Homo-oligomer: A and B are copies of this chain.
Amino acid sequence: MDEFSFINSIKQHTYQQSSVVKGIGDDAAVFRQSSQDIVIAKDMFVEGVHFSRQTMEAYHIGYRALAANLSDLAAMGATPAFYLVAIAIPDNWSSLELDQIYQGMKVLGKKYKMDLIGGDTVSSSELTVSVTVIGYVGSGGARYRNSAQDGDIVFVTGTLGDSQAGFHILNNPGNYKNEAYFIKRHRMPTARIEFVKALKDCTRLSLNDISDGIASEATEIAEDSDVHIHLYEEQIPVSKLFTQFPPNLQHKWKYFGGEDFELVGTIPKNEWSIVQQAAISTNIRLSQIGYVTAASNVKDRVFLHRRNGTIERLDKKGFNHLRR
Contacts and interface: CB of A to CB of B under 8 A. Distances in A.
A40 interface: yes
A110 B145 CA distance: 28
A20 to B, nearest CB: 10
Contact of A130 (B50, B86, B135): B86
A321 B4 CA distance: 9
Contacts of A95: 324
A259 interface: no
B144 A321 contact: no
A2 B2 CA distance: 38
Interface stretch (A69-77, A175-183, A249-257, A290-298): A69-77
A21 interface: yes
Contacts of A137: 30
B320 A4 contact: yes
A274 interface: no
Range for the number of chain A residues in contact with chain B: 35 or more
A296 B31 CA distance: 34
- State the number of copies, please: 2
Interface stretch (A119-127, A166-174, A230-238, A305-313): A119-127
A97 interface: no
B120 A28 contact: no
Nearest to A88: B46
Nearest to A69: B28
A144 B145 CA distance: 40
Contacts of A42: 84-86, 118-120, 130, 132
A123 B49 CA distance: 7
Contact of A323 (B3, B76, B209, B316): B3
A71 B29 CA distance: 14
B124 A46 contact: yes
Contact of A2 (B49, B133, B323): B323
Contacts of A145: 26-27
A37 interface: yes
Interface in A106-158: 117-126, 128, 130, 132-135, 137, 139-140, 142, 144-145
B84 A132 contact: yes
A64 to B, nearest CB: 14
Contacts of A247: none
Contact of A126 (B29, B121, B124): B124
A135 B118 CA distance: 14
Contacts of A323: 2-3
Contacts of A88: 44, 46, 49, 128
Those 10 A-B pairs whose CB atoms lie nearest each other, nearest first: A28-B41, A44-B86, A130-B130, A27-B75, A27-B72, A34-B34, A42-B84, A3-B321, A46-B124, A44-B120
